[in-house]
């Protein structure tokens, strides 16, 4: 059996690196091909050169900041003795709810980023155009197959290696935010027990079943 406070401390500590992964990956996604020229948009003034799902900043705001704030509180609650106080545990439920919302937003934007594929320069009817070639609505390729058919990846001419870049980083955000969501949901239940049952006692007694 584990005390609710120790559980909160463990969850809070685990959320830190996951939030950092989401945050860093989203920032890197603004620099496709490891170049700053696309975020500056010098070449195509009237066109966006950054994928919409990157600009939604799911990893930065959702999986990053909106999870980092609850992580700090949850971790601090767990450090205050065995279970912290009932008020701290009650607040941790509210903070964990914020974490669930943030990680869900991050998860959804990362999923869309993977499904729709990157914004890149590709050949259409003999002309080089900017667009999302793997998106079913406006692309000529089947968006279901591009993730599993690496032969299609070379259709994106610029930025160099943008498909691998997008797939790897969005996959990392997707995995990290998925784990964040589960941990925040666990903390909501853990916080409820901590709020209802109070502290476990100083002599190491723990709440049965947790």
What was the pLDDT predicted at 101?
Answer: 96
Give the lowest-confidence range in 3-12, 83-92, 97-106: 83-92
Break the chain into its structural domains and give their ranges. Answer: 4-115+162-197
Is the pLDDT assigned to residue 13 strictly greater than 80?
yes
Q: Which candidate, 1, 2, 8, places its Cα nearest to that of 195?
A: 8
Band (pLDDT 50/70/90 cuts) for residue 210 is very low
State the average pLDDT for the chain: 81
Band (pLDDT 50/70/90 cuts) for residue 205 is very low
Cite the beta strand spans of the chain per DSSP E.
120-124, 127-131
Mean pLDDT of the region 170-189? 94
4 Cα distance to chain centroid: 26
What angle is formed at CA 92 by the lines to CA 194 and CA 24, rounded to 5 degrees? 135
CA distances from 165 to 24, 30, 118, 148, 198 (A): 13, 11, 9, 15, 47
Identify which has the larger pLDDT, 150 or 63: 63
Model confidence, pTM: 0.83
Mean pLDDT of the region 146-158? 86
Long-range (24+ apart) CB contacts under 8 A made by 42-46 are 44/130
Cβ–Cβ under 8 Å, residues 172 and 21: yes
Is the pLDDT assigned to residue 178 strictly greater than 70?
yes
């Amino acid at each position: 059996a584990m005390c609710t406070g120790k559980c909160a401390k463990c969850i809070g500590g685990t959320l830190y690196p996951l939030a950092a992964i989401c945050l860093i990956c989203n920032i890197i996604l603004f620099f496709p091909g490891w170049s700053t020229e696309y975020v500056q948009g010098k070449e195509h003034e009237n066109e966006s050169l950054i994928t919409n799902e990157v600009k939604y900043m799911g990893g930065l705001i959702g999986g990053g900041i909106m999870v980092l704030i609850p992580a700090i509180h949850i971790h601090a609650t767990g450090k205050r003795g065995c279970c912290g106080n009932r008020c701290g545990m009650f607040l941790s439920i509210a903070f964990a709810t914020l974490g669930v919302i943030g990680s869900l937003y991050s998860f959804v934007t990362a999923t869309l980023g993977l499904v729709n594929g990157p914004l890149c320069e590709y050949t259409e009817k003999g002309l080089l155009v900017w667009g999302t070639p793997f998106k079913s609505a406006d692309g000529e390729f089947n968006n279901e197959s591009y993730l599993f058919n690496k032969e299609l990846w070379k259709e994106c001419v610029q930025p160099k290696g943008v498909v691998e870049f997008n797939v790897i980083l969005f996959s990392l955000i997707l995995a990290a935010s998925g784990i964040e969501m589960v941990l925040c949901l666990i903390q909501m239940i853990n916080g409820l027990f901590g709020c209802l049952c109070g502290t476990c006692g100083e002599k190491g007694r723990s709440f049965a079943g947790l």
